[in-house]
Chain A
Amino acid sequence: MPLQVFAFELYISDQPNDDGTRLTVEWDPLPPDDLRSIDPEIYSLLRSESPDGEFTSIDIVSRLDPSRRKIDENLATGRSYYYKLAYSDSTISWESNVAGPAAPEENWYNRSRTNVLIGILITGAFVGIFIILGRKGKSLYLRPIAGLNAMDEAIGRATEMGKPILYSSGRGKMERPASIASMNILGSVAEKVASYGTPLIFPNNDPVVTAVAQEVAREGYTKAGHADLYNPDNIYFVTDSQFGYAAAVDGIMMRERPATNLFFGTFEAESLILAETGNSIGAIQIAGTDSSIQMAFFIVACDFVLIGEELFAASGYLSGDPQVVGTLKGSDYLKVIIIIMILFGAVVGLLNQEWFVNLFLTA
């Protein structure tokens, strides 16, 4: 079949904001005028490093592809490439004009993420300013959090009853902010239970969290001057299975009958299984989680619940560290900015203006 080359253009451009390994190939609506009678479903996209060299098929192009573009990947940075589209059957062998040269360029800044960068800079500035203010000793007010105020009472009750306190950080891995916040609360709890001499049991769902929790609790006991009371056997890894963990903690509750249950961290479907069992044994329960769904379950079954960011505020609240409190104040002011932007966005949205929403999109 004689090869026929027709005037059909491909448009090649460097893929912006990448590591210099991609080119974008775009084309006009298919089929080309000369193939209108056949109207093929599928074409081949060919690539070569020279206009006269051998072209190899790198992808197929569907007539129906609404985007009319392909991204060619894993190319050499700075090298020139040429492209063409081809179709052949028993009656015709068709090729488009050769498009190119085009060379992928390496970028050192992703422009499409400028809005994210601005957001991070504003956030960092607010938090940074308040950390500095905290360091300088400026007094920053934190509103009382009922759940944390009740902590002393809950620990005291366990001491009076001569029963242990059960602590759980749920299912979160150590890198989750909720797990970090939980470890901070654990530090304060360990310090208090050490001074009262009340046993603290912490069955764990993740080996890394276990190791960290053991260190944090040991530190708390040491700070309270009762390092001798610390028992590493009370903080142990049970299983990383979700319901295996729920069954194990429920079993511990039924056997050890803790007077106080503290649930701080990331919880999933096991939250209510734990909290209801705790409720059935009459334990005082305080919970805090970053999962909005499980918050609802905890609210029904627990005595006190930290809502939303209160979990993250807890470490500043309990430790009183002015730098930590500073970060909380910083995020409070950010919240004010967000509220203003939401209200402004709502007004702009009602006026059918999309530019404001577009400011927050990333490519």
Chain B
Amino acid sequence: MSIWEKAKTLDRRIIFLFMFLGVGLPLLAKIGLPVSVTDDVRNVYNYIEKLEPGDIVLVSYDHDTGTLPEMIPMSDAILRHLFKKDIRVVGMALRAEGNGIGRQNIRRTSAEFDKTEGTDYVFLGFRPEITAAILGLGTSFEKVFPKDDRGIPVGELPLMNEVSNYNDVKLVISVTDDDTPVYWVNYANARFKVKVVAGLTAVMATTFFPFIDSGQMVGMVAGLKGAAEYEKLIKTPGRAARGMDAQSIAHLVMIGFIIIGNVAFIMRRRGK
């Protein structure tokens, strides 16, 4: 069997090994590859930048723990921007696991800016049934979330006294690993006209280009790359910038394998 024939049935564990090295080594040795900012991320940054101190933004944690490493840097970067500008944050989750993730994330990031729960931010908790929850918030936040995550009635939270429905919210940010932003666009934006931004895993990004192009979404921050771009915009390097080296090299490894596969394919054809 020629080397080209062997390449056809290459043991996938060899590919896995190279991918492992491609991801692992850059994490050990910092390379610092450049990151350029895309329009989709810049649009999100600019929109938040134009908000006034005291404005309210809804951040919904619509993802599971599996995608935490990709989602947290992005969520951290956006929250830091919001808190830095004294924008108040209402957190919630449309996934059960998003509840624990969102609560910890908002509390951790808010602590960096000495924010007070109930006044500067709240975390309302988790609600199942995405469609019903998103539609319900359009009429009344209090009906969907009578109490916050700690069990305190929302009527007793100064921030929630200023939030009746989407009219009081300047922006909805859905941090997600699936197509939940489609629901936010279809129900919250189309019906209640609230602006929507998506913080996504990279793999989901292309789903949302048409929504951004049509103006139904302000923009999106996709994957580690999007998070690194956002970190660059707020001038606060974080976890994403470090992870970008690994991501870049991993893609180069993949391109290398695609080239090898095609060279082998062409050589096999010639040999026939």
Q: How far, in Å, is A168 (CB) from chain B's closest CB?
A: 16
Interface members, chain B 63-80 (any A CB < 8 Å): 64-67
Contact A269 B207 (CB under 8 A): no
Residues on the B chain within 8 Å of A292, using CB: 206-207
Select which of B66, B67, B167 is within 8 A of A73 by beta carbon.
Answer: B167
- Stretch in A156-164, A226-234, A237-245, A253-261 touching the partner: A237-245
Interface members, chain A 278-296 (any B CB < 8 Å): 280, 291-293
Question: B12 contacts the other chain (Cβ, under 8 Å)?
Answer: yes
Contact B164 A73 (CB under 8 A): yes
Closest to A176 in B: B131
Contact B203 A293 (CB under 8 A): yes
Cα–Cα distance between A303 and B177 once the two chains are bound (Å): 26
Select which of A62, A64, A71, A280 is within 8 A of B167 by beta carbon.
Answer: A71
Cα–Cα distance between A242 and B67 once the two chains are bound (Å): 10
Q: How far, in Å, is A297 (CB) from chain B's closest CB?
A: 9
Interface members, chain A 340-363 (any B CB < 8 Å): 362
Residues on the B chain within 8 Å of A280, using CB: 12
Contact with A along B165-182 (1 / 0, CB 8 A): 101000000000111000
Contact B52 A64 (CB under 8 A): yes
Residues on the B chain within 8 Å of A362, using CB: 190
Residues on the A chain within 8 Å of B52, using CB: 62, 64
Q: How far, in Å, is B101 (CB) from chain A's closest CB?
A: 13
Residues on the B chain within 8 Å of A269, using CB: 66-67, 177-178, 201, 203-204
Contact A243 B190 (CB under 8 A): no
Q: How far, in Å, is A131 (CB) from chain B's closest CB?
A: 26
Tell me how many residue pairs across A and B have CB atoms closer than 8 Å.
43
Question: A52 contacts the other chain (Cβ, under 8 Å)?
Answer: no
Contact B206 A243 (CB under 8 A): no
Residues of B in contact with A, size category: 20 to 34
Contact A241 B64 (CB under 8 A): yes
Closest to B179 in A: A291
Question: A268 contacts the other chain (Cβ, under 8 Å)?
Answer: yes
Task: Say whether chain A's binding surface is mostly helix, strand, loop, or mixed.
Answer: loop
Q: Which chain B residues have a beta carbon within 8 Å of chain A's beta carbons?
A: 12, 52, 64-67, 96-97, 129-131, 164-165, 167, 177-179, 190, 201, 203-204, 206-207
Q: Please, could you name 24 A-B residue pairs with CB atoms under 8 Å apart, sorted by A?
A: A64-B52, A71-B167, A73-B167, A171-B178, A173-B130, A240-B96, A241-B65, A241-B97, A242-B64, A242-B66, A242-B177, A243-B64, A268-B177, A268-B178, A268-B204, A269-B66, A269-B178, A269-B204, A280-B12, A292-B206, A292-B207, A293-B204, A293-B206, A293-B207
Question: Which A-B residue pairs are the 6 nearest by beta carbons?
Answer: A243-B66, A268-B178, A242-B64, A293-B207, A269-B203, A242-B66
Q: Which chain A residues have a beta carbon within 8 Å of chain B's beta carbons?
A: 62, 64, 71, 73-74, 171, 173, 175, 240-243, 268-269, 280, 291-293, 362
Q: Given known contacts A73-B164, A241-B65, A280-B12, what 17 new A-B pairs fall within 8 Å (CB)? A: A64-B52, A71-B167, A73-B165, A173-B130, A241-B97, A243-B64, A243-B66, A268-B178, A269-B67, A269-B177, A269-B178, A269-B203, A269-B204, A291-B179, A292-B207, A293-B204, A362-B190
